[in-house]
């Protein structure tokens, strides 16, 4: 009798779970790409060109997701399996609820990878908006980079990272990323909006991306303050400024770093042709060692729609890397044509990069470095 009762309870529980599950929409997706490259690289002055390349393919993420909406509440659950140097297994949940004029939203994700996975609790942000004002508190990308630019798949575009060590692994623009803080954004007019942000965290980087330059390898806090302005006044304009400093958490350590970064981007909409321009800069100085690291970059070009789904993108970029005494330069160029072949995308591009670094600035690559790359890429997602 007890066995029958348990079976009935199990059946009822299954029904109770299954009925609301019908209100959830489920989906599965994946992607892949296959390429052919022909690359020639000169590693430095006096070195011979080395050819490399050939065919290759790369698998994207496998994603299972489900979403549900009931009145003013919505929720999404996803599971993603991906490889980026190690196998990532990420569970993510997001939700939003509206009460009165205000909507609250947040998201959580955990990486269940065996190596390089989650090492602690997730640190999400809470977003509140009434449609005109938006408040974010927590770890978030409070400020965008201000970048207005497009690039192809082929190698050639330079970044704030450079070819050396210790650069900033970001596209040209303001060097910013997620940081713990609070931000407030609102509209100034129907075509202009702004965001102010303040961050203070017991560990981390200035503006979420600029590390310490004064030898504080661990045990330092960071404060940040920044602002972003976005406008569409015949041209799409983005501007970001952020600055801050680090401080040791130990009483007997006085070193610190001050840093500033900014980005300005402009894109014109001229119908089929869309020219763009982006400028970015970042500088950081240690108070004790007086070590200085600075990078400036410029990116300009255009996208051109040829019709029938075909398009061309041209991107010219250059960056200057400086320390306390010297500077080095990098230039890059990309030209790529893209089209659709049924459900797949096809692109053919040419890119090149050159470096001048006679004084061996650490954040730039070697003097005389030169690279050219021809790439054909097909991609498909389902």
CA dihedral sign of residues 113, 116, 120, 121: negative
> Considering only CA atoms, which of 106, 172, 183 is closest in space to residue 142?
183
* Nearest-angstrom CA–CA distance, 160 and 179: 19
Least confident interval from 125-139, 197-211, 250-264, 271-285: 250-264
Contact 163, 355 (CB under 8 A): yes
Q: pLDDT tens-digit profile of 26-41?
A: 999 999 999 999 999 9
What is the number of structural domains in the chain? 1
DSSP code at position 49: P
Q: Please, which residues have CB within 8 angstroms of residue 368's CB and are 6 or more apart in sequence?
A: 42, 44, 45, 46, 47, 355, 356
Q: pLDDT tens-digit profile of 346-358?
A: 999 999 999 999 9
Q: What is the CATH number of the domain that holds 45?
A: 2.40.160
DSSP 303-314: EEEEETTEEEEE
Indicate left, alpha or beta for 258 from its phi (over 0: left) and psi (-120 to 50: alpha). Answer: beta
In three-state secondary structure terms, 2 is helix
- Residue 101 in domain: no
Q: How would you classify the pairing of strands 31-42 and 50-59?
A: antiparallel
The two tokens of residue 261 are 């970064």
Contact 183, 288 (CB under 8 A): no
- Residue 141 in domain: yes
Q: pLDDT tens-digit profile of 308-323?
A: 889 999 999 999 999 8
Q: Pick the residue with more confidence: 87 or 321? A: 321
Helices (H) and strands (E) in the chain, counts: 1, 20
* Nearest-angstrom CA–CA distance, 83 and 7: 42
Pick the most confident of 11-20, 207-216, 241-250, 256-265.
256-265
DSSP 155-176: S----SS-SSSS---S-SS---
| Residue 11's pLDDT band (cuts 50, 70, 90) | very low
Neighbour count for residue 15 (Cβ, 10 Å): 9
- Residue 90 in domain: no
For residue 115, the model assigns a pLDDT of 60
Contact 138, 116 (CB under 8 A): no
Q: Pick the residue with more confidence: 98 or 251? A: 98
Q: pLDDT tens-digit profile of 296-308?
A: 999 999 999 998 8
DSSP code at position 60: -
Average pLDDT over residues 250-259: 79
Q: How would you classify the pairing of strands 235-248 and 50-59?
A: unpaired
Q: pLDDT tens-digit profile of 178-191?
A: 999 999 999 999 99
* Nearest-angstrom CA–CA distance, 335 and 158: 14
For residue 13, the model assigns a pLDDT of 42
Q: State phi, psi for 144 to the nearest 5 degrees.
A: -80, 170
> Considering only CA atoms, which of 109, 29, 97 is closest in space to residue 68?
97
Does residue 376 carry a pLDDT above 70? Answer: yes
Residues composing the chain: 382
Neighbour count for residue 176 (Cβ, 10 Å): 30
First and final C-alpha spacing in the chain? 50
For residue 166, the model assigns a pLDDT of 67
- Residue 70 in domain: no
Does residue 218 carry a pLDDT above 80? Answer: no
Q: pLDDT tens-digit profile of 22-78?
A: 578 999 999 999 999 999 999 999 999 999 999 999 999 999 999 999 999 999 999
| Residue 10's pLDDT band (cuts 50, 70, 90) | very low
| Residue 8's pLDDT band (cuts 50, 70, 90) | very low
Percent of the chain with pLDDT over 70: 90
Q: Please, which residues have CB within 8 angstroms of residue 84's CB and are 6 or more apart in sequence?
A: none
Average pLDDT over residues 107-112: 90
Burial class (CB in 10 A: 0-12, 13-18, 19+), 292: middle
Q: pLDDT tens-digit profile of 114-168?
A: 666 666 778 899 999 999 999 999 999 999 999 999 998 899 999 888 776 667 8
Average model confidence (pLDDT) across the chain: 89
* Nearest-angstrom CA–CA distance, 83 and 90: 11
Contact 61, 81 (CB under 8 A): yes
- Residue 164 in domain: yes
pTM of the model: 0.85
- Residue 37 in domain: yes
Average pLDDT over residues 331-344: 96
- Residue 32 in domain: yes
For residue 293, the model assigns a pLDDT of 87
Domain membership of residue 130 as a residue range: 2-60+123-381
- Residue 105 in domain: no
């Amino acid at each position: 009798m007890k066995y029958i009762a348990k079976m009935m309870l199990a059946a009822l529980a299954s029904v109770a779970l299954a009925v609301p599950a019908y209100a959830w929409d489920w989906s599965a997706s994946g992607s892949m790409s296959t390429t052919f490259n022909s690359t020639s690289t000169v590693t430095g002055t006096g070195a011979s060109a080395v050819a490399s390349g050939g065919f290759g393919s790369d698998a994207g993420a496998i994603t299972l997701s489900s979403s549900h909406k009931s009145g003013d509440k919505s929720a999404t659950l996803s599971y993603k399996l991906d490889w980026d140097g190690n196998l990532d297994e990420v569970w993510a949940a997001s939700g939003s609820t509206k009460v009165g004029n205000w909507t609250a939203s947040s998201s959580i994700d955990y990486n269940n990878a065996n190596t390089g996975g989650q090492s602690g609790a997730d640190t999400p942000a809470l977003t509140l908006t009434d449609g005109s004002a938006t408040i974010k508190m927590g770890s978030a990308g409070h400020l965008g980079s201000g970048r207005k630019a497009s690039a192809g798949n082929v190698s050639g575009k330079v970044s704030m990272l450079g070819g050396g060590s210790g650069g900033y692994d970001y596209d040209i623009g303001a060097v910013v990323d997620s940081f713990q803080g609070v931000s407030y954004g609102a509209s100034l007019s129907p075509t202009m909006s702004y965001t102010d942000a303040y961050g203070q965290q017991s560990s981390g980087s200035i503006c979420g991306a600029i590390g310490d330059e004064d030898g504080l390898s661990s045990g330092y806090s960071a404060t940040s303050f920044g602002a972003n302005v976005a406008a569409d006044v015949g041209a799409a304009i983005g501007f970001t400024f952020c600055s801050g400093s680090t401080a040791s958490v130990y009483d007997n350590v006085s070193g610190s770093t001050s840093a500033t970064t900014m980005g300005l981007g402009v894109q014109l909409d001229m119908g089929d042709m869309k020219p763009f321009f982006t400028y970015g800069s970042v500088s950081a100085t240690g108070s004790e060692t007086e070590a200085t690291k600075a990078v400036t970059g410029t990116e300009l070009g255009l996208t051109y729609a040829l019709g029938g789904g075909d398009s061309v993108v041209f991107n010219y970029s250059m960056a200057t890397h400086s320390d306390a005494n010297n500077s080095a330069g990098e230039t890059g160029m990309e030209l790529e044509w893209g089209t659709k072949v049924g459900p797949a995308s096809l692109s053919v591009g040419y890119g090149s990069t050159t470096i001048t670094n006679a004084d061996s600035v650490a954040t730039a690559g070697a003097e005389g470095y030169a690279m050219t790359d021809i790439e054909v890429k097909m991609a498909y997602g389902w």
